[in-house]
């Protein structure tokens, strides 16, 4: 101890505050006494935190007080320290070309509690507390101080972006103030943060940086992550109180958030303990277990589970729906499954059996009259599609569309071929304000049969100030010939992929070519409602949003609407993403995956900008063709309306979701491109050429 610190004892008269420092009398002290003094000082420093209390405690038998000063040899570093600096590199610029660094790492303060050990502790640890302030910050700093008191073998340097320094100053710790400047929104922000951490590591000689950032501060505006963080935060208390309740909710969050990597093990754990679950947990547990079976395509396990737990099936709408769908044959109609336990219509079941059940079911649905839901109307429309009754089909579809305020069908024909090719909508008056150009991007592959109506549905929009950029991805079915027919419209710009690259490589290229203030997309087999662009642009302006996404109805070539197992028909249409062009420049490019890169991009936008800036329109804007030829039905990359995801999609979705959840802690996530490559869904960007230019 004596070799490390200078210790002086002084005889002084109380009270201490009135003592002139010059009258202090130094005295030598034996080593063991020094150690005792040091321990006493540290003990009482922890409890009293006042010099007065300490001095009175150490007072001599005659009421004299001892003033003890412990002074480590190394100078402590504070935010006001002015270290010797390395010579700056010769430059004409008035601003340094690189961070100004001290010639040797700064010596961090050990803090009040370990003050006397400052020169013996060699390990300096960065503690990142970005985003924390007030009691939250004080709690973290207090926790670190407690650990330091116990181990006495590290000195913290706190890294903060909040102007709340009291927790550091009051405990005598060093800290760095780092302004963030909204770097979460900046391109390459992650790289910038890494660079900054590297600089600080050198500056303070940090052995490592421990992360106690308030992730919630950055992600509060992204509900999926906020829900996860809130759920995690409560884990220890919740598990002590109700372990299985916590596990059930975790599995629900994992499935909703596409964390398929976690879902498998959780479902297995829950299934193993299922018979021991208390009654209130059995139905929620059964629901999430079944959802996992469906997502993973484990239908035999699903059937076995549902048959085994038939008592729960009879009580719950979701379990009942799955039982009726997967355990009763594919075509047969059993009337006892037409109604759910809650007495609502089992729409999903009926939608798949209208051909055999329609004659029994339709009278009941019709009896509901005008009070029927949009879903009920579309179920009826499905029945008349099967019967090829165009007039009644149109009537029920229009009833459903009218409930959403959508444009109405004017003409339907059930002649041979794809119904979408022969649909027309009532004319809409042109949008009033059309001064800003909107770029609509469309990629096409083997789309000769559909590209015509898909493109016409865009060119006939009520908002006419558009450019339609279409790129053929090396099709062999005559798609390019169909595209040539569109050339007569000056708003159409045609492109050709230099090599087959998938839709997202094309999007990246065409975004760079786009001239519009806004950019959106359209699939080459979908039909846009005639006011889609007008409504999205109006919504974007009215809400001051950066981007907006709408919904779609999936419909077969025969005109039947596709329902999901939650009995809904309107679904999020990520393809309808409509945004300022700058959004794509800042957050792009799309990952060149074969599938689902638009979902990753959309979630990234929501997380970065917040859900207030990336809005959802709960309005159908598109009729999406549900075809056996579509990517969502292609073997190996399927995504079906019941929730099944092919393994490659699961791997991609899980990796992307995990990256979002981990925030800056990417250490545990493999590069997503590697995962895509391993699953055979990574494409290469090939570039495009504009056909007019080539000529």
Partner 1 sequence: MKCIGQVATYPGRSANLPVMLESVVAQFDEIHVALNQYSKRQQRALPQYPNVHYLIPDDDLKDTGKFVRQAAADEYVFLMDDDLVFPADYVATLIACHEDLPTQRIAVGLHGVIYSDLFEGAATSRFVAKFDKALQRQLLVNQLGTGCLMLRGDLMPPFDVMKSAQRFVDVRFARYCHENGIGMLCTARPDGWIKDQEPEESIFETYTRAHHREQLDEILAFAGFGKLNARLALAVERA
Sites of contact with partner 1 (CB under 8 A) = 125, 127, 140, 142-144, 146-147, 149-154, 208-212, 215, 228-229, 231-236, 239-240, 243, 247, 250, 253-254, 257, 259, 262-269, 271-273, 276, 661-665, 667-668
- Closest contact distance (angstroms) between CB of 287 and partner 1 is 17
For partner 1, the closer CB: 102 or 245: 245
User: What does DSSP assign to residue 309?
Assistant: T
Question: From the CB of 227, what's the least distance to partner 1, in Å?
Answer: 10
Bridge partners (DSSP) listed for residue 645: 639
Number of residues in the chain = 695
For residue 599, give every residue at least 6 positions away whose Cβ sits within 8 Å of its Cβ, in sequence order, or none: 574, 653, 656
3-state DSSP helix/strand/coil % of the chain, to nearest 5: 45, 15, 40
CA angle 18, 22, 27 (to 5 degrees): 105
CB nearer partner 1, residue 242 or residue 690: 242
Q: Which is nearer to partner 1, 233 or 360 (CB)?
A: 233
Strands (E) located in 479-546: 492-497, 518-521, 527-528
CA gap 346, 357 in Å, rounded: 12
Nearer to partner 1, 663 or 687 (CB): 663
What the block records as the tokens of 691 is 């056909």
CB of 661 to partner 1, least distance (A): 5
Minimum CB separation of residue 103 from partner 1 in Å reads 27
Task: Report, in Å, the least distance between residue 254 CB and partner 1.
Answer: 6
d(CA 67, CA 100): 40
Residue placing its CB nearer to partner 1 in the complex, 230 or 684? 230
* Residue closer to partner 1 (CB basis): 197 or 303: 197
Report, in Å, the least distance between residue 182 CB and partner 1: 22
Shortest gap between Cβ of 36 and partner 1 (angstroms)? Answer: 12
- What one-character DSSP code corresponds to residue 170? T
When the beta carbons of 26 and 142 are compared against partner 1, the nearer one is 142
- 8 Å CB contact between 466 and 458: yes
Secondary structure (DSSP) of 616-636: EEEEEEEEEE--TTSGGGSTT
Cβ neighbour number for residue 493 with a 10 Å cutoff: 22
Instruction: Please state the closest distance from residue 675 (CB atom) to partner 1, in A.
Output: 15
CB 213 within 8 A of CB 132: yes
CB of 235 to partner 1, least distance (A): 5
- Residue 215 or 455: the one with the smaller Cβ distance to partner 1 is 215
289 CB-near residues (< 8 Å, 6+ apart):
251, 267, 270, 271, 274, 305
The DSSP string of 207-250 is: EEEEE---HHHHHTT-HHHHHHHHHHHTHHHHHHHHHHHHHHHH
Q: Which of 12, 10, 22, 112 is nearest to 68 (CA)?
A: 10
Nearer to partner 1, 225 or 617 (CB): 225
């Amino acid at each position: 101890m004596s070799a490390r610190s200078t210790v002086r004892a002084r005889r002084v008269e109380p009270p201490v505050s009135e003592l002139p420092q010059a009258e202090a009398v130094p005295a030598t002290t034996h080593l063991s006494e020094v150690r005792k003094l040091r321990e006493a000082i540290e003990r009482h420093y922890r409890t009293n935190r006042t010099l007065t209390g300490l001095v009175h405690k150490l007072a001599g038998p005659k009421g004299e007080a001892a003033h003890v000063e412990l002074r480590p040899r190394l100078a402590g570093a504070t935010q006001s320290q002015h270290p010797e600096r390395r010579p700056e590199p010769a430059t004409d610029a008035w601003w340094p070309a690189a961070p100004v660094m001290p010639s040797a790492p700064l010596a961090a303060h050990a803090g009040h509690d370990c003050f006397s050990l400052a020169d013996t502790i060699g390990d300096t640890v960065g503690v990142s507390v970005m985003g924390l302030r007030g009691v939250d910050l004080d709690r973290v700093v207090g926790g670190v101080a407690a650990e330091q008191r116990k181990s006495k073998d590290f000195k913290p340097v706190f890294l903060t972006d909040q102007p709340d320094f009291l927790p550091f100053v009051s405990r005598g710790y060093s800290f760095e103030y780092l302004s963030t400047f909204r770097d979460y929104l900046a391109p390459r922000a992650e790289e910038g943060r890494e660079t900054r951490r590297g600089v600080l590591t050198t500056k303070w000689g940090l052995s490592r940086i421990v992360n106690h950032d308030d992730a919630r501060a950055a992600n509060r505006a992204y509900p999926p992550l906020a829900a996860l963080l809130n759920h995690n935060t409560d884990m220890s208390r919740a598990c002590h109180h109700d372990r299985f309740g916590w596990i059930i909710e975790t599995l629900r969050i994992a499935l909703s958030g596409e964390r398929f990597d976690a879902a498998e093990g959780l479902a297995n754990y829950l299934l193993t303990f299922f018979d021991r679950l208390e009654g209130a947990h059995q139905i929620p547990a059964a629901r999430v277990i079944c959802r996992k079976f469906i997502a993973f395509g484990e239908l035999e396990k699903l059937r076995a589970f549902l048959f085994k737990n038939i008592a729960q099936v009879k009580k719950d709408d979701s379990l009942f729906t799955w039982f009726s769908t997967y355990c009763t044959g594919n075509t047969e109609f059993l009337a006892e499954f037409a109604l759910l336990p809650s007495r609502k219509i089992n729409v999903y079941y009926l939608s798949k059996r209208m051909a055999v059940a329609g004659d029994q079911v339709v009278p009941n649905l019709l009896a509901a009259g005008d009070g029927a839901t949009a879903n009920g109307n579309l179920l009826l429309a499905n029945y008349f599609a099967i019967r090829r009754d165009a007039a009644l089909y149109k009537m029920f579809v229009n009833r459903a569309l009218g409930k959403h305020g959508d444009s109405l069908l004017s003409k339907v024909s059930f002649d041979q071929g794809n119904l979408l090719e022969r649909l027309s909508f009532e004319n809409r008056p042109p949008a009033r304000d059309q001064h800003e150009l909107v770029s609509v991007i469309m990629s096409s592959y083997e789309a000769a049969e559909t590209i015509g109506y898909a493109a016409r549905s865009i060119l006939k929009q009520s908002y006419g100030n558009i450019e339609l950029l279409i790129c053929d991805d090396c099709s062999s079915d005559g798609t390019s010939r169909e595209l040539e027919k569109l050339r007569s419209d000056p708003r159409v710009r045609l492109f050709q992929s230099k090599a087959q690259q998938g839709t997202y490589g094309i999007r990246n290229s065409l975004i760079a070519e786009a001239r519009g203030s806004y950019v959106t997309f359209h699939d080459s087999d979908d039909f846009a409602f005639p006011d889609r662009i007008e409504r999205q642009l109006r919504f974007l302006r009215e809400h001051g949003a950066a981007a907006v996404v709408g919904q779609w109805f999936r419909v077969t070539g025969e005109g039947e609407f596709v329902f999901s197992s939650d009995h809904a028909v309107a679904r999020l249409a990520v393809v309808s993403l409509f945004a300022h062009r700058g959004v794509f420049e800042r957050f792009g490019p799309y990952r060149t995956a074969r599938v689902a890169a638009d979902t990753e991009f959309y979630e990234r936008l929501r997380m970065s900008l917040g859900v207030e800036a990336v809005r959802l329109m709960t309005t159908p804007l598109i009729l999406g063709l549900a075809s056996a030829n579509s990517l969502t039905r292609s073997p190996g990359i399927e995504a079906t309306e019941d929730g099944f995801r092919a393994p490659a999609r699961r791997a991609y979705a899980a990796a992307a979701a995990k990256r979002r959840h981990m925030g800056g802690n990417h250490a545990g996530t493999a590069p997503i491109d590697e995962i895509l490559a391993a699953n055979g869904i990574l494409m290469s960007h090939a570039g495009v050429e504009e056909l007019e230019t080539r000529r």
